Structure formats: C-alpha cells, structure tokens
A and B are shown apart, each in its own frame.
Chain A
Amino acid sequence: MNRVALVAGGLARFGKREASWRDLAAEGGKATLEDLPELSPEKIDGVIVATADEEPYLAAVASEILGIKPKIATRVENLCSSGGTAITVAYSLISSGLINKVLVLGVEKMCHRQTVPLLEWDFTRGGVLMPAAWGAVYAQKHMEKFGTTEEQLALISVKNHRLSSMNPFAHFQKPITLNEVMSSRHVVTPLKLYDCCSKSDGAAGVILAGEDEARSLTDTPVWIKGLGESSQGATFGNVNPEYVTWPCVKIAAKEAYQTARVEANKIDLAMLHDAFTINEIIEYEDLGFARKGEGGRFIEQGQSEIGGKVAVNTHGGLIGVGPPIGATGVAQAVEILAQFRGTAGKRQVGRVENGLTLNLSASVSTGNVIIYGRNSH
C-alpha cells in the first residue's frame, strides 16, 4: 500500500466573516496551494471538499475556483467530523494508487445559520435540539461518577483560549481567566458560556501525497501512520449508553493505535474535539492519556499543556479557534503539520514525534482518529 503524507496546509481565518462560501474556499484553497509552490494546481489529481453546506456540487465548484482539474472531485459530509473523514477518504484513494496528490478543503459558513435545522432527523431529542443539552448530560454524569468539578471544566477553556490568542487564524484572540469562565452566564447547567464552542465561519486545507511525490515535494512530510473511524448511530437516544465513556472514540482510537503501532503514551501532541469543555476531559480518558475518571485531574496538573505529558489543542481547539463544521477536522491537520515543521510560533511544542487528531459528530455518535508521525515506518 502506498504511504501517505501531509505536504501542505493553509487556513482562511476563522470567525464571523463577511465572506461567502466561495470566498472562504478561495481564501483557504489559495493559502494551502501557496504553502507548496513546488506543486502547481494542475498537478493535483483529487479534490475532496468537507462541508455541511446545503448547496450541491461544491467539490467541482471549489476545484474550478482554484484552477484545478482533478481526476476525482467529490465531497464528504459527516457533520462536524466531515474533515477527519475527508482526510481518511483521501488517504484511501492515495494508498490504493488511484490518485496521488489530493487537496482536502474544509469550508463552512455557519454564523448566518441556526443550529436547529441540522438536527431535524433526531426524533429522540423531543424538541431539545441545542447541542449544549447533550454536553450538559455528559458533564453531569462525569461529575456525579468521578467528582469532576466545574473548575476543572473551566481550566480547559482557559488553556484553549490562551492558545488561540497566539493563533492569528483563531476566532477568539484574547486569553481569559478562570474567574471569567466561572462567572460567565449559564447556557445549559452545568455548562457556562465559555464551556461551549461558538459558531464560526472559516476554511482549512491540506494537501496529501503518496510516498514518492511527498518525498520529492518537501523535506518535511508528515506521515499518516494510522487511522480509525467508528459511527455508532445518529441519534442521541441510541449512542453512549454509559454517558461517561464514548464507544466511537474508543473503537476509532484502538484501530488507529494498532495500525500506527503506537501506544497512547507515545503521543506528544493531540488536537481533540472540545465542542464543550467536558469533551476534552472525557477524550483524555478514552484516548488513553489519563485513566478513566481522572481527566479532570489531568488538566488540573497541567498534563495537557505545552510541556506536559501531551500538548492538547495547541491551535486553541474548537473553543478557541472556532468550530466551522467541515473545516474543523482539516484545521486540526493544519496545526499538526505546523507543529511537526516547527513553525507554530509561540504555540510551538518542542520536537514532535507522534501527533493525533480526534474529530467527532452529533452528540459524539461518530469519531475519527488519525495518528501522524515524523517517519513513514
């Protein structure tokens, strides 16, 4: 099987943007292509667009905007994990040998849109459609079972805002204090305003290439070492029966660790899906960074800070950088690339050997895990 590497990455600033889907696709696509001037757009033979936008045919639209005439242009929609799934699909197309230079472009216009219509299919929510409702359930059960505190949740938000303040592409540019998080208004108890990600527009792109192309295009390819994905359903009522542990994360992680032949304790950098602060805590545990129930102490002890056991969400996470649906998972890969290259500026973690991304959808019903490494083998 052909090995696959990240060879380029670029972003359109996340935030409330006065720009259309097309503008964001052009801006994010241009930034990605210009990151690798050695590769001219006409040499790209695959374009995969990750978006939950209502418009059809957007992969062809994006390809045309960027002057690419790929063999395969298609779109991946998997709600908030569209980006991770799109990279997984690109990996498969390259490793099969069908194509070998693929642009994955995540683009979303989100600020103009209500969240509600996106969840119409889920009858089990009985009209309680705000995502914070499920975040609150998982938070409550974790607090009840393991004694996790609201302060521990707040520390996730403080860390991720601090990191996003060092990321010029992030929606939220200011650090916040523990007191500001704790005294922010309640959204759905126990979650407060700063425990929740916001809505953002934005775009993120990466170029993936097969082994020979990757080596000839760049001195700093970042290799995909392992992947795993699991879809456990679509409705809140049917997933995560234990609330405090998430089967789609555990299954996807197990598969990714096995295919990468890497253990959790060898991961030094991770981009996790912090739609709510409780997510990051449960994810530390289900990914094997912390023991079950000890995610709260993990953040309290600074283990997920730069310099800790594993640096988590160095780009600011969904809470700091913003969560433009299809762009979210692709932006995780862009940060992985920057960190491996050593170009993450003030957010730079020392030398990274193994990086991990976790991208989730709809009340944690689908999980996608990708493990990246400095070496192809």
Chain B
Amino acid sequence: MVEIATRKQPNRYPWENKKQSGIYRFFDGLEKGKLLSTKCKRCHHFNWPPMIVCTKCLSDQVLWRELPKGGQIIAYSLSYIGNSQHPELICTIELSNGLRMLGRIIGSKYKDLSYGLKVTRKNVGLVEGRPFWTYELVGRSKSKEGKTVTQSR
C-alpha cells in the first residue's frame, strides 16, 4: 500500500525562539512563571501585548517588566466549550495599571464572583505552547508565590 505523505504544519509563529523573535522573552518569562511585557525606555509607555518597538514613540529601546499581579474582575462567564459537564470560569481582568486581558479564575465558584472584585494572578505558563494564566480572588490563596503550569512546546 502506498503511503501518502502528509505535510507537517510548520510552526508559523516561532516567537519563543531567541534566534527568530525579540518576543522570546515573553515566552521565557511564562516558562519561569512570570507574565512580562515591554516598557519603553524613552517615553515610559507600557506596551501590552509586548512589542519590540514602542507603539507610542517607535523607540526600540524597551525594558522587560512584569505586569502587576493584581487587578479586578470586569466580566466573568462559565465556558462550556470542550467540557459541558465541568464548565470553566473565564474572566476579563483589568490590572491595577489599566491593562486588560482574558483569563481563567480558579478556586472560586461562579456564585462567589461579581464585577469589581479584586483578583491576583496565580499560575502562569505555557499550555501546548500557548500563553496561559489563571487568577484567583484576593484572600483565597495560602501560598504567596504563583506556580508555573504544565509546560510543553
């Protein structure tokens, strides 16, 4: 029987590769449990998502800085996609510096949540090579440090 060769999908986004992308530090940070982005050395604008050229002044002198851990819940939902029996809590978070992101909430039930509740980032990492993070309500955590979630690329 003739085997038909199947094309392997190339990794079109080698952002995590130091040789190929200035954004690799973002992925490096995720592997170490830190959520980093870039702050412009010249105009001090905090770029989010990370940019190797500042979106405000076009300077290529940028500093890698950790995003604030704390923020508040702007919106929250139960997502039944991929798991109709055990829905996930997903949310929109506004960080203390005003930047926004989607994410997951762990350690709480849907009924415990409301708009404006304070949260802190808990786990940061890569899942199947993709950025991933979770938040939990402030006061729910017993450990001070966030854990790095399962890593695979």
Contacts and interface: CB of A to CB of B under 8 A. Distances in A.
Interface of A: 120-130, 132-134, 136-137, 140-141, 144, 185-190, 235-238, 241, 243
Given A133-B90, A137-B74, A237-B48, A126 B79 contact: no
Contact of A127 (B26, B99, B100, B127): B127
Contact of B90 (A128, A141, A144, A238): A128
Contacts of A185: 80, 84
B50 A137 contact: no
Given A185-B80, A186-B80, A123 B133 contact: no
Contacts of A144: 115
A133 B91 CA distance: 8
A120 B115 contact: no
Given A121-B13, A141-B75, A237-B48, A127 B115 contact: no
Contacts of B87: 186
Contacts of B17: none
Given A124-B101, A127-B103, A134-B102, 20 more contacts: A124-B48, A124-B102, A126-B101, A127-B130, A127-B132, A128-B79, A128-B102, A130-B79, A130-B81, A132-B79, A133-B77, A136-B75, A137-B74, A137-B102, A187-B81, A188-B80, A189-B79, A235-B49, A238-B49, A243-B74
B52 to A, nearest CB: 13
A126 B103 contact: yes
Contacts, number: 91
Interface of B: 12-13, 26, 48-50, 74-81, 84, 87, 90, 92, 99-104, 115, 127, 130-133
26 contacts: A120-B130, A122-B49, A123-B131, A124-B100, A127-B127, A127-B131, A127-B133, A130-B79, A132-B79, A132-B81, A133-B77, A136-B77, A137-B74, A137-B92, A141-B75, A144-B115, A188-B77, A188-B78, A188-B80, A190-B77, A236-B102, A237-B48, A237-B49, A237-B101, A237-B102, A241-B100
Given A141-B75, A187-B80, A188-B78, A126 B49 contact: no
Contacts of A137: 74-75, 77, 92, 102
Given A127-B127, A127-B132, A133 B102 contact: yes
Contacts of B99: 237
Contacts of A134: 102
Given A127-B104, A127-B131, A188 B81 contact: yes
B44 to A, nearest CB: 18
Nearest to B99: A237
Contact of A189 (B26, B77, B84, B133): B77
A121 B23 CA distance: 12
A128 B103 contact: yes
A127 B91 CA distance: 12
Point out which of A127, A129, A187, A188 has the most chain B C-beta atoms below 10 A from its C-beta: A127
A55 to B, nearest CB: 11
A166 to B, nearest CB: 31
A124 B74 CA distance: 15
A373 B53 CA distance: 44
A126 B80 contact: no
A124 B49 contact: yes
B114 to A, nearest CB: 11
Please provide the 5 A-B residue pairs with the shortest distance between their CB atoms, ordered closest to farther: A127-B132, A123-B49, A128-B102, A126-B103, A137-B75
A189 B78 contact: yes
A121 B12 CA distance: 10
Contacts of B101: 124-126, 236-237
A114 B87 CA distance: 20
B50 to A, nearest CB: 7
Nearest to B87: A186
Given A136-B75, A137-B74, A126 B104 contact: yes
A103 to B, nearest CB: 29
A9 B62 CA distance: 50
A120 B103 contact: no
A140 B75 contact: yes
Point out which of A126, A129, A140, A144 has the most chain B C-beta atoms below 10 A from its C-beta: A126
Contacts of B103: 126-128
A185 B87 CA distance: 12
Given A121-B13, A125-B101, A133-B90, A140 B77 contact: yes
